[in-house]
Amino acid sequence: MEQCPTAHVLIFPFPAQGHVNSMLKLAELLCLAGIHVTFLNTDFIHDRLVRYTDIETRFSCYPGFQFKTVSDGLSADHPRSLDKFMELYDSLNSKTKPLLREMLASNQLGSNTRPSLTCIIVDGLISIFTSDIANELQIPIIYFRTISASCFWAFFSVPNMIEAGELPVRGNEDMDHLITTVPGMEGFLRYRDLPSFCRGIDLNHFNLPIFVTETQRSPQAHALILNTFEDLEGPALFHIRTHCSKVYTIGPLHSLLKFQLEAKRSLSQSQSSNSLFEVDRSCMTWLDAQPLKSVIYVSFGSISTMTKDEHMEFWFGLVNSKKRFLWVLRSDSIAGEHDRNEVPIELVEGTKERGYIVSWTPQEEVLDHHAIGGFLTHSGWNSTLESVVAGLPMICWPYFGDQQLNSRFVSEVWKLGLDMKDVCDRFIVEQMVNDLMGERREEFMKSTTKMARLARKSVSEGGSSCCNLDLLVEDIRLMSM
């Protein structure tokens, strides 16, 4: 790949685990291609990254890389939890925006050894205020989205759905009603599969127009980067490309990065973590002692919470299935003021026979472990892609946002597993775990093995994601001339 000594990119993720994780991978890929990268974190996120990882040491091997931080405008003790999403979003807009503007206007990111900015790659979720600044200062801007192409396309189609009277979803709607106004998804997308922001119940916490407006502005950006691959989401990408002229699909990013690091023989780096939580590696020792493909991995991502009752339904379902399980229970997983920060003792005590509970795992390594045979997931997009690459069948219990749509694609379109959305019942959990790990395993393994092969092909030399990364690098290099 050609070196780009004069190109310099600012990468700015939305301050949350799934966003920071994938954008750091993009940053490392651009560093490997010889591009200067400034990675902008909020202070809150950067403190956690530094506390729980060796991130600064790891990136110190790239001379063109630097971290910068900026305030998110919230107080140190603000929970920054999902139910306070709009407070964080509004604060970024009102408090962080002027700080970022000043940083860029006074060229604080350039130096004697570092060229001034070539372009900004911003998380599409905060593109509105960033593109205002980029336009004012005439810096090209590229949007990066951490959601699937299919979810992006569903968000893009919201105005069509509203015009046709299919949105908003009202309380008394038949949730199995098929949506007719998202081109390419007419035969299988139901109300219950729409991004959760389309459901009335979510509107207390989220402002649907924000997600729609952020997405609708994408055609105005210089380009759009998506963490997906052509063989997985060709139909949605076809529709997106009728609106956005340059779409770079460079996923699965974690796999592309691993491939490129291995090609450069930086093998030690391919196991590194971008976690905002303390990783408990004891689960790897536990997994080493389990039989091949015998364990179901259970994780609901970095943000979702559930009630103690819901936890108990999952726990009974898992225990009654008599299958082995490794379960991530974050200390803040349990919803409700009183229960917060305590994992129910009966879960921990009653799990010892066949299960293992940890507060955070090295997930990519876990999914690659020979003892893991399936994944009970919340269908976050990173987790979904990580499971696809590992060739694991999934049981999906989507919690919010894009996850409702991802789980429909996993079960109905890609046939990679089962969708348990809108149900939380110990008998269903038990039955699905037994189906996935036993009776229907062969059926799912055919599709998961095939999709894993396509994912690996896409990131290998000559594959679509590998070639698209080269095109993106070339595009950035040309902008710097």
What residues are labeled active site?
Answer: 19, 123
Whichever of 193 and 386 has its CB closer to ligand UDX, that residue is: 386
Nearest to ligand UDX of 133, 303 (CB atom):
303
In DSSP notation, 319-376 reads HHHT-EEEEE--TT-B-STTTTT---HHHHHHTTTTEEEES---HHHHHHSTTEEEEE
Asked if 194 and 254 count as a contact pair (C-beta separation under 8 A), the reply is no
Q: Which stretch binds ligand UDX (CB under 6 A): 157-165, 307-315, 356-364, 432-440?
A: 356-364
Is there a contact between 331 and 301 (Cβ–Cβ < 8 Å)? no
Q: Is 4 or 303 the residue whose CB approaches ligand UDX more closely?
A: 303
- What is the C-alpha separation between 286 and 267, in angstroms, rounded? 24
Considering the complex, what minimum distance in angstroms separates the CB of residue 275 from ligand UDX? 5
Q: Which is nearer to ligand UDX, 59 or 399 (CB)?
A: 399
Q: Which is nearer to ligand UDX, 197 or 259 (CB)?
A: 197
Q: How far apart are CA 432 and CA 329, in angstroms?
A: 20
**Does 275 engage in binding with ligand UDX (CB under 6 A)?**
yes
Among 140, 355, 373, 401, binds ligand UDX (CB under 6 A): 401
Residue nearest to ligand UDX (CB): 380
d(CA 394, CA 375): 5
Contact between 28 and ligand UDX (CB under 6 A)?
no
The 321-340 site mask, x for binding ligand UDX (CB under 6 A), equals -------x------------
Cβ-based neighbour number of residue 78 at 10 Å:
14
Is 196 among the residues that bind ligand UDX (CB under 6 A)? no
Does position 451 interact with ligand UDX (CB under 6 A)? The reply is: no
Query: Least distance (Å) from ligand UDX to the CB of residue 167?
Result: 21
Q: Which SS3 state, helix, strand or coil, does residue 62 take?
A: coil
Judged by CB under 6 A, does residue 45 bind ligand UDX?
A: no
Q: At its nearest, how many Å lie between ligand UDX and the CB of residue 266?
A: 20
Q: Does 361 bind ligand UDX (CB under 6 A)?
A: yes
DSSP 3-state of 133: helix
**Parallel, antiparallel, or unpaired: how do β-strands 295-299 and 355-358 relate?**
unpaired
402 binding ligand UDX? (CB under 6 A):
yes
Does residue 347 belong to the site contacting ligand UDX (CB under 6 A)? no
With tokens 């999952």, the residue in question is: 314
Using CB under 6 A as the binding criterion, the count of chain residues that bind ligand UDX stands at 26
The CA distance from 17 to 103, in Å, is 24
Quickly count: other Cβ atoms within 10 Å of residue 460's Cβ: 14
Interacting residue with ligand UDX among 8, 10, 12, 17 (CB under 6 A)? 17
Check if the beta carbon of residue 404 is closer than 8 Å to that of residue 192: yes
Out of 19, 239, 324, 421, the only residue in the binding site for ligand UDX (CB under 6 A) is 19
Using rule CB under 6 A, residue 127 touches ligand UDX: no
Q: 400 to each of 177, 179, 186, 239, 396, how far by Cα in Å?
A: 19, 19, 22, 24, 12
Contact (Cβ atoms closer than 8 angstroms) between residue 224 and residue 218: yes
Residue 119, both tokens? 């372009």
Q: Is 355 in the site for ligand UDX (CB under 6 A)?
A: no
Q: Is 386 in the site for ligand UDX (CB under 6 A)?
A: yes
Quote the least distance from Cβ 130 to ligand UDX, whole Å.
Answer: 18
Using the rule CB under 6 A, which residue among 91, 249, 302, 458 binds ligand UDX?
302
Task: Find the binder of ligand UDX among 7, 15, 20, 21 (CB under 6 A).
Answer: 21
How many residues are given for the chain? Answer: 481
Quote the DSSP letter at residue 53.
S
Task: Between 64 and 397, name the residue whose CB sits nearer to ligand UDX.
Answer: 397
Regarding 249 and contact with ligand UDX (CB under 6 A), the answer is: no
- Which one of 67-75, 84-92, 184-192, 300-308 is the stretch in contact with ligand UDX (CB under 6 A)? 300-308
For residues 132-161, which are near ligand UDX according to CB under 6 A? Answer: 146-147
The overall longest dimension of the chain from CA atoms, in Å, is: 64
- Coil, strand, or helix at residue 128? helix
Residue 143 Cβ vs ligand UDX, minimum distance, rounded to whole Å: 14
User: How far is residue 248 from each of residues 50, 299, 429, 473, measured CA to CA in Å?
Assistant: 30, 29, 38, 10
Closest to 276 (Cα-Cα) out of 330, 329, 357: 330
Residues at the site binding ligand UDX, with contacts judged by CB under 6 A? 16-19, 21, 146-147, 275, 299, 301-304, 328, 360-361, 363-364, 380-383, 386, 401-403
